[in-house]
Structure 1
Amino acid sequence: MAWARSSWERKWAFMGLSGSHNQTAIALGPNGMKALGRLGVYEALDDELAFRNCSGYPMVYSRFYRAHLQQALVTHVKPETIHLRKAFQSVESLPDTDELLISFTDESTTTADVLLGADGIQSAVRRSFVPSSAPKWTGWVAFRSVFDAKLVEHIPGVLDEAYHWWGPDRTFFSSKLGKNQFTIVGGNYTDPNAPDAPFKDATWNSDGDLAVFKEYYKDWHPAIRQMIDASPYTRLYPNTFASSLDTWVHGNGQVTYAGDAAHAHGGAFAAGGSLALDDAWAFSRAILTAYPPGSPKPSKAVITQALRLYEATRKPHTDRVLSTVHANNENAIKRLGQVENDEQLRERMKKRADPFWIHEHEVDKVFDQVLAENTQTSQARL
């Protein structure tokens, strides 16, 4: 885990995962790529870093090796503001200064005016305020790996496009990534409440068994079997999700969340990265709208106003995402054990919902609408 402090005259702390433990692929839709452009991370828009499939479907707009995207992002942050290996422990308000005192498990502390918890799906910041918000296992365990694309170049067509194969009880995904990397993702779905559910005790990013992975896809297309054979390893990632929070603003109005810490949707629709980037952009706009650089130290009321503006911009959209994910997970569990022929599978795929509204979401437009509504409400009260 890492935390970063802004270089502004006022102070705010960002609690986030360093990401070194999660060496997987990450996808960005059009909204995520737009956010990178707004943030000035132009090197991440380069074709060398991101693989862009030729189909043009929003769900598979561009794909990165996670570490490459992180490296591009970190070049835009002053090194002296990032502190690694700082696990969050607690936060409390200091009434004399209206600041937050943030404590870490190594017994060090820091102070800030605002705390943004972006520390992942198991967010310690979120759970310190909402203990019941721990995510639950969906029953899905992903087998994932990233390796040199040269290992699959002998398989016709697999380097040309990102592919998503659907079967009655499981799926398989493959895609080239930037800098000549390649990823495959398969897995197993089971009832998470079954006492004998396979992988119910699996941990994130733990060693997987290639023999088990191959067994799951032994009757699938030869290209899929060849890609699994080419993979030098596989790792396990149990999928989890959580219900939406009643509010994103805690800590006397000075604490909020972003990314999976705010909306633990379990990675559905390959939307997590884009949702987090839209969070970051909306948060920065809210902060800068409430108190631009050079303005006096803000009051707690102004800070809370900024965080409410951020919440009103993002929460309705991510709540809709979570609601859709929960419904899909329930349907997947209901299908377990049912026999589905090819025609029935094709029909189910044709009727599945189009997630364009997730990947084409215009966060700037929503922010401007919320800001205008808040301004009108404030004027009406005068």
Structure 2
Amino acid sequence: MRATQRIAIVGGGLGGAAAAASLQQAGFEVNIYEQAAQFTRQGAGIHMGPNVLKIFRRQGIEKQLEAMGSHPDFWFSRDADGEYLSRIPLGEFARKEYGAAYLTVHRGDLHALQMTAIAPNSVHMGKHLLSLDESGDDVLLTFADGSTARADIVIGADGINSRVREHLLGAEAPTYSGWVGHRALIPAEKLAQYDFNFEDCVKWWSSDRHLMVYYTTGKRDEYYFVSGVPQAQWEGGDASFVDCSREAMYEAFTGYHPTVQALIANADSITKWPLLNRQPLPVWSRGRMVLLGDACHPMKPHMAQGAAMAIEDGAMLARCLQETGLSDYSTAFRLYEANRKDRASRVQAVSNANTWLRTQEDPAWVYGYELFDHPLKTEVPA
């Protein structure tokens, strides 16, 4: 046996970064291979609940994240006319009831912070994976730039179009869900002209669409919206997103409250992207390869828990590998799936149904989850 055992993570997004930090903290040698040439501050916000903040606490970045994010006291749901449908307490309530803060933040800012928790020189950019060859005692990774790497196990954290998933289960394109999302960032100063209450975290609903709105910084200088809108066909071909006109956005939210109209009016740039689905996978791992996050259980973003599930996956996988040791990776992979599948599948189903917090409900099963205190299920099929 080699003195050093190596883990390769394909994909350096939020899930891959979280997995690397947890695994390195557990003492494993980890390298991330990311196909992008560089990371950028992409124009998207994200929710981070107490279930994730407790993982970041162990990784040493909880306080820094709290300092950069916005801390809503409530998740409000309103109908298109502005009437409240629910008021879900967060803020100090979340700290007391769930054990950590609830915040919203810019995705790029969060990702940059995650990079500080990873060992220097362990992230390799511009590595587009071409092939995987499991030769018995390790895996050979070959990249488009001609370089190669070897690892004892490979973790596929490379999203809904995962090459690792493709290697395990064959090529199969995801299916279009019949829904699109719109995104825009708005400088908060542009909204000062209105006598509206631009709440910290509010989801506007009607029978078949919604608009989620929140601040992405603690300074509250950047307001973000993301929609879910039915659309029979995706017009963008293979593009991951297309530009959307303000006029098309108005049409999608005709009749909504003037607050929503003001947001659309002040969005300088709106993008639209297709929401994609996959059927539940028959396996999460095979041989020396294992999947996490959107590579494993993609979901619509309607519950604001997709990235959280990927981060939880990474932490649980690290916990299971620490339990068994890397030499018994097959048992670790079975433990991981046994301890993640029910929760991830439940979140996936609720998220895809788009019912989360529309009415007054108790979110404790999501936000109060204690990944490291949760006893491991040990009865796993061989």
Q: Same fold by TM (over 0.5)?
A: yes
Q: Which residue of 2 aligns with 1:316?
A: 342
**1:100 and 1:113 in contact (8 A); partners too:** yes
Q: Which residue of 2 aligns with 1:345?
A: none
Q: Aligned ranges for residues 272-311 of structure 1 at < 5 Å?
A: 272-291=306-325, 298-299=326-327, 302-311=328-337
- Equivalent position SS for 2:239: coil
What's the CA shift for 1:353? 7.2
Q: Which residue of 2 aligns with 1:64?
A: 105
Q: Which residue of 2 aligns with 1:357?
A: 365
Query: Does residue 90 in structure 1 map to residue 131 in structure 2?
Result: yes
What's the CA shift for 1:148? 2.2
Structure with the bigger RCO (C-alpha within 8 Å, sep 6+) is 2
Query: Does residue 242 in structure 1 map to residue 278 in structure 2?
Result: yes
Structure 2 counterpart of 1:269, from 303, 315, 318:
303
Q: Aligned ranges for residues 114-129 of structure 1 at < 5 Å?
A: 114-129=153-168
- Equivalent position SS for 1:369: coil
Structure 2 counterpart of 1:50, from 66, 69, 86:
69
Which stretches in structure 2 are left out of the alignment for 5+ residues?
1-10, 76-87, 92-101
Amino acid at match of 1:276: A
Query: Does residue 136 in structure 1 map to residue 175 in structure 2?
Result: yes
What's the CA shift for 1:93? 1.6
Range with bigger deviation, 105-114 or 212-221: 212-221
CA distance in 2, matches of 1:89, 1:354: 45
Q: 1:82 to 1:66 in 2, by over 3 A?
A: same
CA distance in 1, matches of 2:34, 2:347: 22
- Equivalent position SS for 2:247: helix
What's the CA shift for 1:249? 1.2
Q: 1:115 to 1:157 in 2, by over 3 A?
A: farther
What's the CA shift for 1:318? 1.1
Q: Which residue of 2 aligns with 1:343?
A: none
Two-structure CA RMSD over aligned residues (Å): 3.1
**2:31 and 2:123 in contact (8 A); partners too:** no
Structure 2 counterpart of 1:230, from 266, 269, 285:
266
Range with bigger deviation, 25-34 or 68-77: 25-34
Q: Higher Cα Rg: structure 1 or 2?
A: 1
**1:101 and 1:109 in contact (8 A); partners too:** yes
Q: 1:305 to 1:257 in 2, by over 3 A?
A: same
What's the CA shift for 1:217? 2.1
- Equivalent position SS for 2:117: coil
What's the CA shift for 1:306? 1.6
Q: Aligned ranges for residues 1-382 of structure 1 at < 5 Å?
A: 2=12, 11-15=29-33, 20=40, 22-47=42-67, 49-55=68-74, 57=88, 61-95=102-136, 98-131=137-170, 134-178=173-217, 179=219, 180-191=221-232, 197=233, 199=235, 201=237, 203-250=239-286, 252=287, 254-291=288-325, 298-299=326-327, 302-325=328-351, 328=353, 350=359, 356-366=364-374, 368-371=375-378, 373=379
1:280-331 deviation per Cα after TM superposition (whole angstroms, max 9, x unaligned): 111111122222xxxxxx53xx1111222222111121122334445x27x9
**1:41 and 1:76 in contact (8 A); partners too:** yes
What's the CA shift for 1:198? 5.5
Q: 1:355 to 1:241 in 2, by over 3 A?
A: farther
- Equivalent position SS for 2:109: helix
What's the CA shift for 1:189? 0.4
Range with bigger deviation, 152-161 or 29-38: 152-161
Q: TM-score, normalised by structure 2?
A: 0.78
CA distance in 1, matches of 2:173, 2:373: 32
What's the CA shift for 1:188? 2.6
Amino acid at match of 2:203: H
CA distance in 2, matches of 1:177, 1:58: 19
- Equivalent position SS for 1:207: strand
- Equivalent position SS for 2:323: helix
Q: TM-score, normalised by structure 1?
A: 0.78
